[in-house]
Amino acid sequence: STAKLWGGRFSAQADSWVDEFGASISFDQLMADEDIEGSLAHVKMLQKTGILSPEDVQQIVAGLESIQADLHQNKLHFTVENEDIHMNIESILTDRIGPVAGKLHTGRSRNDQVATDFHLYVKKRLPQIIEEIKTIQKTLVNLAADNVETIMPGYTHLQHAQPISYGHYLMAYYSMLKRDVERFEFNQKHTDISPLGAAALAGTTFPIDRQFTADELGFSEVYNNSLDAVSDRDFALEFLSNSSILMMHLSRFCEELSMWVSYEFNYLELSDKYTTGSSIMPQKKNPDMAELIRGKSGRVFGHLLGLLSTMKSLPLAYNKDLQEDKEGVFDTVKTILPALRVFNGMLSTVKVKKENMYKATTHDFSNATELADYLATKGIPFRQAHGIVGELVLKGLQTGKNLQDISMEEFKQISPLIEEDVYDVLKPEVAVERRNSFGGTGFQQVLAQIDRARTELAE
Ligand code: ARG
């Protein structure tokens, strides 16, 4: 036998560089807390079911609690020889309380242990992420409320399309984040299930009580099938997928932010607290944080594809491949939590250059639809009206004239039905205000969205 915890049937020891390759302690020590919690629940169950004596359990609990206290003071030392967090903790426990530590692993395997730790880890982080998203939603709603009547060009194909309210634009992102919250909330359902007691893959002959450990750990459910319990990583995939969609949303906003603070757009200015200078160009104020959030979406998408690829074709039940499930999830948590906080800081300190946004809508043809609609209300079929206005735009582009610059006389030549009120209709703010169909950019509709959002956030 060898010195390993499982060394009984081995006569030769792996070289240390092979051990290094197989070890996960360098990253799964992030679940040390969860591992101890899981062990405490398990050993209490072993006492409750009479599998272990109260004296043994008392010693094990005291040992685990002393390890927990040292963990919180950063006093534990982990080794690669002990491979992963589970065996490291057990080895430390053995050092502290002697051979009775060996009873802790009764009726349990590292396979259900690691799954339990991982579920606990994700379960704890989901509410934190949801809170951070809601903070951004509140910022968006407040900023939208200040900008219901801020007029800006709305884009399709990045071309001026129709004028919109900046508040309306912001509320679009509110809606995206609302779906993100719902996705992370649903993520809880598949995370909140206890694999503990599935043992290696097939359950155990010991009269364990899986409901007891689930209750101890705060899980709402217990996995129904032991094979599924040790090999399911859907909850992690859902987490990575939800995180990817969230980061995709933030990246879109950050892309627009970066454009809009540029000289060419000049719609927004970011606070000095969320921008950086250049080591060579003294004038520079770069939207680094926005770019970095946009850039970090890439690593999160990568983690999703990484785990999907690891899971593809994986036979039941546990395989060591599954050890690859953790780093991407840990890195995703480490990426999205600060990204959400920085995003919120950036958004809540942004300066909106309302006049510039408005100005961008006054020398363009984004009121062309207004004129076509106006002609249509005068009885000209919309298709024909579209053609007429198209020709006016073409002519205007050649002569440097916008639609509002066309004289009444010229209008009358197009149709005698056109009246003085056309000039009002062509104003961007009027165009926005009148788009009062449900969910549209009309001021009333934006206010209604803000009202609904405030009710949702208060729930
Ligand atoms: N370090 C392993 C992991 O992260 C723990 C489970 C190991 N089980 C096994 N039979 N090798 O997946």
Q: Is 112 in the pocket of ligand 1 (CB under 6 A)?
A: no
What CATH number corresponds to the domain at position 237? 1.20.200.10
CA of 304 to the centre of ligand 1 (A): 21
- Are 392 and 323 in a shared domain? no
At residue 95, the pLDDT reads 98
Q: Is residue 210 part of a domain?
A: no
The pLDDT mean for the chain works out to 97
**Residue with CA at minimum distance from ligand 1 atom 3:** 323
Same domain, 330 and 389: no
Write the residue with the smallest CA distance to atom 4 of ligand 1. 323
pLDDT for residue 3:
85
Mutate to test the pocket of ligand 1, among 89, 111, 231, 324 (most ligand atoms within 8 A of CB): 111
**Residue 30 near residue 76, CB atoms below 8 Å:** no
| Mean pLDDT along residues 106-131 | 98
- Provide the pLDDT confidence category of residue 2 given band limits of 50, 70 and 90: confident
| Residues 6 or more apart in contact with residue 25 via CB below 8 angstroms | 78, 79, 80, 82, 83, 84, 85, 88
Top mutation candidate among 114, 196, 307 for ligand 1, by most atoms within 8 Å of CB:
114
Exposure string of 335-362, with b = 16+ CB inside 10 Å and e = fewer, is: bbeebbebbbbbbbebebbbeebbbbbb
Q: Based on the fold, state whether residues 90 and 233 are members of the same structural domain.
A: no
Shared domain check, 275 and 387: no
Place of tokens 């969860």: 34
148 in the same domain as 25: no
Reported pTM: 0.95
Report how far residue 247's alpha carbon sits from residue 338's, in angstroms, rounded to the nearest whole number.
12
- pLDDT-derived band at 312 (thresholds 50, 70, 90) equals very high
Total of domains in the chain: 3
Report the distance separating Cα 299 and Cα 295, nearest Å.
8
Residues 6+ apart with CB under 8 A from 159: none
130 CA → ligand 1 middle, Å: 30
**308 in the same domain as 404:** no
Q: Are strands 193-194 and 221-222 parallel, antiparallel or unpaired?
A: parallel
The answer to whether residues 163 and 56 belong to one domain is: no
Last residue of a domain, one of 319, 338, 359: 359
Q: For 322, which DSSP code?
A: G
Q: Is the beta carbon of 322 within 6 A of some atom in ligand 1?
A: yes
To which residue do tokens 């927004």 refer?
268
Under 8 Å CB-to-CB from 174, ≥6 apart: which residues? 137, 140, 141, 144, 449, 453
Whether residue 100 is predicted with pLDDT greater than 90 in this model: the reply is yes
Ligand 1, residue 85: give the atom nearest the CA: 1
16: CATH: 1.10.275.10
- Dist. CA 23 → ligand 1 center (Å): 9
CA of 336 from ligand 1 middle (Å) equals 27
Tell whether 193 and 327 lie within a shared domain: yes
> Could you tell me if the CB of 111 is within 6 A of ligand 1?
yes
Distance 109 CA to ligand 1 centre (A): 9
- Pick from 29-33, 226-230, 387-391: least confident: 387-391
Give residue 19's identity as a one-letter amino acid code: D
Q: Render pLDDT for 136-165 as a digit per residue (tens, 0 to 9).
A: 999 999 999 999 999 999 999 999 999 999
Q: Do both 249 and 318 map to the same domain?
A: yes
Distance in angstroms (rounded) separating the CA atoms of residues 252 and 138: 19
* Closest to 318 measured CA to CA, from 239, 238, 228: 228
Residues 162 and 26 in one domain: no
Lookup: tokens for 410: 């010229």
Chosen domain end from 359, 379, 395: 359
- Residue 362: pLDDT band (50, 70, 90) is very high
Give the pLDDT confidence of 218-270 residue by residue, as tens digits: 999 999 999 999 999 999 999 999 999 999 999 999 999 999 999 999 999 99
CB of residue 150 inside a 6 A radius of ligand 1: no
Tell which atom from ligand 1 comes closest to the C-alpha of 84: 1
Write the DSSP assignment of 203-228 as a string of letters. --SS---HHHHHHHHT-SEE-S-HHH
Contact between 200 and 114 under an 8 Å Cβ cutoff? The reply is no
For the chain, give the number of residues. Answer: 459
Q: How confident is the model at residue 318 (pLDDT cuts 50, 70, 90)?
A: very high
The answer, yes or no, to whether any atom of ligand 1 lies below 6 A from the CB of 84, is yes
Going by alpha carbons, the residue nearest to atom 2 of ligand 1 is 323
Residue 219 lies in a domain: no
Q: Is the CB of 24 under 6 A from ligand 1?
A: yes
Burial class (CB in 10 A: 0-12, 13-18, 19+), 394: exposed
Domain boundary among 359, 388, 406: 359
**Pocket-testing residue among 20, 320, 321, 324, ligand 1, by greatest number of atoms within 8 A of Cβ:** 320
Please, which pLDDT band fits residue 415 given cuts at 50, 70 and 90?
confident
Nearest CA to ligand 1 atom 1: 84
Cα 225 to ligand 1 centre (Å): 19
Q: Is 215 domain-assigned?
A: no
Range of the domain at 334: 111-204+224-359
CA torsion, ordered 174, 176, 177, 179, to nearest 10 deg: 130
**Phi-psi bin for 14: left (phi > 0), alpha (psi -120 to 50), beta?**
beta
Q: Is residue 218 part of a domain?
A: no
Q: Are residues 270 and 414 in the same domain?
A: no
Confidence bin at 450 (pLDDT 50/70/90): very high
Among all residues, which ones are annotated catalytic?
157, 278
CATH number at 401 reads 1.10.40.30
CB of 110 closer than 6 A to ligand 1? yes
In a domain? residue 380 = yes
Residues 343 and 391 in one domain: no
Residue with CA nearest ligand 1 atom 11? 320
Query: 326 alpha carbon to ligand 1 midpoint, in Å?
Result: 11
